[in-house]
């Protein structure tokens, strides 16, 4: 068993990274808000994430044959990180917190730390354009592993006299057909939060749950024998959002489980988190580090 790293260049300077071992193929797009564009189970070709957004007019997933403008090339499908906001555009003490955070709109830098048959190890970095925050991420794929490990470090890089500032941090995967289908289950630990209906049944859900001592969320599809699991640290990501949007008239059939530091409840966003006491805070020079994992597989 071995690991590989491939790097393609689209549209002149847009780099697409492909990490592989014998089980998994992981497509990363640092320049598209650090998007984890796809995870593929190589034995069957099953793709776990949904890159399309039929609910958003004019939204285009990236393609090597159709260049996107800078304004079009932002993460809003597949899998992206919400930081330093989760929720609507808001302003806190003169600082702008954009919808679901500007890390998804920022081109992340990357460098290769190690590339061998045993291991691919990368470092990615996102510098907020609106706040004095930097997110530094390591990505680790080992030979023979069905798990990808990430370590994120959040840092306040403002001057010593800058204010202590709040933030929200979380993950937003998008799932669609065929991973989502009738009977697929969305789970927090062992608790089934929702079972998907057939695609012609309309459903709209957005609510949150306390993480408690649970350390993972997962989507399982018994028909495919497929499971996607996200493991996280519950003392930091204290809430999980459940989002289901099944709108047959618009050909929308998507769902997500979002581990997050804050609740989704109104008024939402950074102001809601501050009001509810669920905001996390960083003072100048402070950091917060967390490790999380993505695990994917098919047993059928």
Instruction: Residue 98: give its domain's CATH number.
Output: 2.70.98.10
The pLDDT of residue 58: 83
Dihedral through CA 177, CA 152, CA 35, CA 143, nearest 10?
A: -70
CA pair distance 93, 58, nearest whole angstrom: 33
Residue, of 55 and 193, whose pLDDT is higher: 193
Please write the tens of the pLDDT for every residue from 56-105. Answer: 888 889 999 999 998 899 999 999 999 999 999 999 999 999 999 999 99
Mean pLDDT of the chain: 96
Determine which of 5-14, 177-186, 215-224, 264-273 has the lowest per-residue pLDDT on average. Answer: 264-273
The pLDDT of residue 251: 87
Q: Which helix H or strand E contains 149, and what residues bound it?
A: strand 147-156
Find the distance separating the first CA and the last CA of the chain, reported in whole Å.
22
The answer on pLDDT for 216 being more than 80 is yes
Length of the chain: 300
Q: How many domains does the chain have?
A: 1
Residue 204 belongs to domain spanning: 4-298
Contact 229, 217 (CB under 8 A): yes
The answer on pLDDT for 189 being more than 70 is yes
The residues pairing with 39 across neighbouring beta strands, listed in sequence order, are 26
Full strand arrangement of the beta sheet holding 79-82: 79-82, 170-173, 252-260, 239-247, 203-210
CA pair distance 16, 67, nearest whole angstrom: 13
Dihedral through CA 77, CA 150, CA 87, CA 264, nearest 10?
A: 110
The owner of tokens 């993505």 is: 294
Average pLDDT rounded to a whole number, residues 219-238 = 98
Please write the tens of the pLDDT for every residue from 262-279. Answer: 999 767 899 999 999 999
């Amino acid at each position: 068993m071995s690991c590989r790293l491939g790097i393609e260049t689209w549209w002149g300077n847009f780099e697409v990274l492909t990490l592989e071992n014998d089980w998994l193929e992981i497509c990363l797009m640092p320049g598209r808000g650090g998007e984890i564009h796809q995870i593929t189970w190589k034995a069957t070709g099953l793709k776990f994430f949904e890159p399309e957004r039929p609910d958003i007019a004019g939204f285009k997933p990236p393609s090597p044959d159709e260049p996107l403008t800078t304004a079009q090339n932002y993460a809003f499908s597949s899998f992206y990180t919400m930081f330093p906001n989760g929720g609507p555009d808001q302003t806190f003490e003169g600082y702008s917190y954009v919808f679901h955070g500007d890390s998804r709109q920022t081109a992340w830098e990357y460098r290769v730390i190690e590339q061998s048959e045993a291991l691919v190890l990368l470092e990615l970095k996102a510098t907020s354009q609106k706040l004095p925050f930097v997110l530094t991420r390591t990505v680790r794929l080992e030979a023979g592993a069905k798990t990808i490990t990430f370590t994120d470090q959040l840092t306040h890089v403002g001057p010593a006299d800058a204010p202590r500032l709040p933030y929200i941090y979380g993950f937003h995967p998008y799932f669609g057909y065929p991973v989502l289908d009738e009977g697929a289950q969305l789970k927090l630990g062992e608790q089934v939060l929702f079972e998907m209906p057939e695609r012609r049944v309309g459903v709209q859900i957005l609510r949150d749950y306390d993480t408690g001592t649970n350390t993972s969320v997962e989507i399982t599809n018994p028909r495919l024998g497929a499971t996607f699991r996200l493991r996280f640290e519950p003392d930091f990501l204290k809430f999980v959002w459940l989002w289901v949007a099944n709108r047959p008239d618009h050909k929308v059939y998507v769902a997500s489980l979002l581990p997050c530091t804050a609740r989704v409840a109104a008024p939402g966003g950074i102001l809601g988190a501050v009001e509810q006491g669920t905001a996390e805070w960083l003072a100048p020079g402070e950091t917060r580090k967390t490790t999380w994992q993505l695990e994917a597989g098919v047993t059928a």
